[in-house]
Structure 1
Amino acid sequence: MGEVVEFVTSNKYGRRFYKFSNSSITFSLKGSGYAVIGLSNLPEVKHIKQWVYINRHGNTGVTQYQSVHSEHEVLIAVETPNIISEDRSQKFWLTWYDKLELGKSGSTEPIFSREIGTNNLKYVSFISHRNTNSVEWRFVSPPLIERPGLKPIEGGKMYWVKYDGLLPYGALIGGYENEFLYIMRAPHEGSLTPGKFVPSIKCGFVSWGGYMHLKNEFEILCGYDCTWVTTRGNVIPCGAVPGGYTEYGPETMYVGRCQRDKHTIPGKVAPSYSVCFFPYNDEEAYEAVYEILVAPYSSPRYTPTKIVPNVRVGEYIGEHV
């Protein structure tokens, strides 16, 4: 359980930011006029992306600008007379995951709802409009949860097994596309390329040259001493699991996976291309932001204080090609 936070915003109250990683908050307020909530990706006023205002004597809605003390664009406004009171606290909920919605406690119907494109809004600031009135606020701050460190485990090291018609013991689930997908690799045009294995048809698929290619002979990745790490471009985490090599150079390719149409598809990461390629809908698709498979303790660069340090490909390739 988090800490109960109570305060009054007025002309003597400094701006404070509180972190809410779950994109929602339940709060109570009592006041004489105009309460404002700012949502931002960093704890600074200049980074506030959305302003939510609650006005006892007028409208409730959303504005967008650098500051509520300047002219700002009203994105949505709803008439809400007497929505807050000077005499007793009113309880509200606010969410901002893919939609920005405000509602009264006890009701699932929002006062307003607006689609938003920014999903990294983690900081919340509370103020009174133009500091002309005081507002009493109350909410429960989220508990501080430390990210657990990765600990070495016995066994489970990564290894490749030649497919013989049966899914090998310890095969690593790598994604989902109407069924669980597994990670495979197969030779193709002089390369050794990671891709996806589809159990229902007992075939593997790799992406190469803009197309998806079916494979009947391939290896499947097994083991469990690993984790998926989100990265982008050519930033390769230490301990990334090698899955093969390109036809040129050769350059080491790593095991990656991408999100597409609510599916998670395993594929290949050739760092010089700065994307993850994956076989999907008979084509070679790609994403610049992706997950890469990492066996953390396999790298001498790993330290417990830095869960998975990142290095750019220029620093990294020379050690692993």
Structure 2
Amino acid sequence: MQKNDVCMSIELPYKLYKADAGGFKFKLLPKKELHEHDCQPAFHLISKDCPHNSLYEIKLDFENRRLYITTGEGVATNFALPNELMGSEEKDMWLSYYNEDILLGMGNKTFFVYPRNITGGNSADQFIGYIKFETNYGFEWIVREAPQVYNTPSVSIAINETENLHWLALDQDQNLPKNALIGGFENTPLYIARAMYSGSLCPGKYVPEEKKAYVPWGGRSHEKSNFQILCGHNADWILCKDDNIPENAFIAGTSEIHNEPLYIGRSFVDYNLIVGKVHMLYTSCYLPFNGDEVQVNEYEILVDLSVKPKGIPCRGKCKVNLTCKDISCI
């Protein structure tokens, strides 16, 4: 049997994970009994709008010591495969795509930077929301399933995906809690904050580089230096429209009038994933961005997975079972 026949005869499924916080952490484990030329591990970055739409394929070619990234339009770019990825030991790797670039690396070293707009087209214009790993003969992907798994040279987080949501104030040195929940990205990752403003306990965003939070209120984005950060990972993001709030939406604050509940929402604004507040009274999500309060009617809302709803919230127009082991559904 030829080596290609060996690869094709092993019909292992793909593994698909939701990954819309701008990055992912995973491990690559080559099987020690195999040689570099046996098979080539690859993974795909998938459109957030539909998990059947592959935007990029990233393939590690150990035989030729090259790394290939190919767009959904078939435009291929290659990079030299670094020495750190050679050998049979387990590799802890990270991938980030929260900005206009795709980066791959290990530890504090970045292996390549791929500008998404270098080729243009459909792949560059769409947002990445899923990652799909090919499981083939010779390599094993070890992935941690969680609402977010993120790692870059400047951010390294140990995830406990069953830890319930809770609020923590920053210490005097403004150190970000290790279990802080990433909510989006605006050049760099954004976290979820809440602060008092004009009588409202208002959810908003925290920008680590500025060590400040911003909350939307009254048509403007307001800077805050006294705030709390949302921590824990037993949560998920659900597509939402108008005031169709899921039963287990996480209550994050209150309004200044009648203390109506405020929830956490997020949406894309100018290619940034911004976190803000959802107010049922106005059937909208409000986002702090560039000094303004941006209003959107279609958004994602944060739900608390420790609360079991009686109904089944809608997850969007494209139905997919992320835990399915059947290759035919991808």
User: Shorter-chain TM-score: which interval?
Assistant: 0.3 to 0.5
TM-score (norm 1): 0.48
TM-score (norm 2): 0.47
Larger Rg: 1
The one of the two structures with greater contact order (alpha-carbon pairs below 8 A, sep at least 6) is: 2
